[in-house]
Amino acid sequence: MTIVARHVIKEFGSSHTRVLHDLDVTIADGEFVSISGRSGAGKSTLLYLLSTLDHPNHGEIIIDGETVRALSVRALHAFRCRHVGFIFQFHYLLPELTALENVLLAPRNVGLLEEKRPQAMALLEQFDIVGEKDKFPAQMSGGQQQRVAIARALIMNPRYIFADEPTGNLDTVNGMKVMQILQEVHRRDRTTIILVTHEPDYAAMASREIDLCDGRLVSDVRRGVS
Ligand SMILES: Nc1ncnc2c1ncn2[C@@H]1O[C@H](COP(=O)(O)OP(=O)(O)O)[C@@H](O)[C@H]1O
Ligand SMILES: [Mg+2]
């Protein structure tokens, strides 16, 4: 099972500014891949394409043999709900819900509220924020909020985690905590993790490092052990 980008070209605007140039990459299930590169290199654009949030102008994204472009909006939505967890630089927690309620939002929407409650508590415990479970986002630190967002991304046991600069808004200590959580999730559950970061130390914590420069893949290095 894989995510394949084949001859992917992405352009923006009426002038067709090319942001990704004929990019080919294959990501196998269970990999922990970092995508690095300068600001503007095309990292987020690539992440959105790989995660089905956006489509290329030319070329294909193929997930488990299925061309994403051929899927209906409804099928794409179902795929993302079932198999994908997203973590962004800003957590997008709902301010009027507590930490625990935020984590349980997706389960609640599909009628799994009570079934998932023990797992939500276990995640909060694991991330050292069980004491904040009844707090609202505004009552938590940035690091705590981001850990709630990670618990929310994990609660449906996704096969894929897409993370766009999840440490970008955090200090070193909290950034490292987030990275260690991602490493542990990868090791324990073999969740495929695709992480955008411009921090070399964090990129090096992945088992595979992809480097983008001006929309081109300039390096792709695998490590033996992650
Ligand atoms: N929706 C958009 N419309 C127009 N240009 C965009 C859009 N999204 C990204 N870009 C441009 O594409 C380039 C790559 O952006 P991005 O993928 O966000 O880079 P990175 O995440 O590596 O910083 C940048 O020049 C950015 O301005
Ligand atoms: Mg970006």
CATH of domain 2-222: 3.40.50.300
Query: For residue 85, which of 165, 194, 168 has the smallest C-alpha distance?
Result: 194
According to the model, what pLDDT value does residue 56 have? Answer: 97
Distance 117 CA to ligand 1 centre (A): 38
Q: What is the pLDDT of residues 105-156, one digit of tens each?
A: 999 999 999 999 999 999 999 999 999 999 999 999 999 999 999 999 999 9
The best mutation among 45, 46, 199, 214 to test binding of ligand 1, ranked by most ligand atoms within 8 Å of the C-beta, falls on 45
The best mutation among 10, 12, 21, 54 to test binding of ligand 1, ranked by most ligand atoms within 8 Å of the C-beta, falls on 12
Backbone φ, ψ for residue 141 (5° rounding): -75, 165
Q: Name the CA dihedral angle for 123, 126, 128, 130, rounded to a multiple of 10 degrees.
A: 40
According to the model, what pLDDT value does residue 169 have? Answer: 87
Other CB atoms within 10 A of residue 59 CB: 19
**What residues does each domain of the chain span?**
2-222
According to the model, what pLDDT value does residue 226 have? Answer: 45
Other CB atoms within 10 A of residue 15 CB: 7
Categorize the per-residue pLDDT at 225 as very low, low, confident or very high, splitting at 50, 70 and 90.
Answer: low
Query: For residue 102, which of 90, 110, 93, 89 has the smallest C-alpha distance?
Result: 93
Q: What is the pLDDT of residues 52-98, one digit of tens each?
A: 999 999 999 999 999 999 999 999 999 998 899 999 988 889 999 99
According to the model, what pLDDT value does residue 223 have? Answer: 85
Pocket lining: 143 vs ligand 1, CB cutoff 6 Å: no
Pocket lining: 41 vs ligand 1, CB cutoff 6 Å: yes
Check whether 159 has a pLDDT greater than 50. Answer: yes
Q: Could you give the percent of the chain with pLDDT greater than 90?
A: 91
Nearest CA to ligand 1 atom 5: 12
According to the model, what pLDDT value does residue 160 have? Answer: 97
Q: What is the pLDDT of residues 25-50, one digit of tens each?
A: 999 999 999 999 999 999 999 999 99
Average pLDDT, rounded, for the chain = 94
Q: Where are the beta strands (DSSP E) in 54-207?
A: 58-63, 66-67, 84-87, 160-164, 192-196
Nearest CA to ligand 1 atom 18: 44
pTM of the model: 0.94
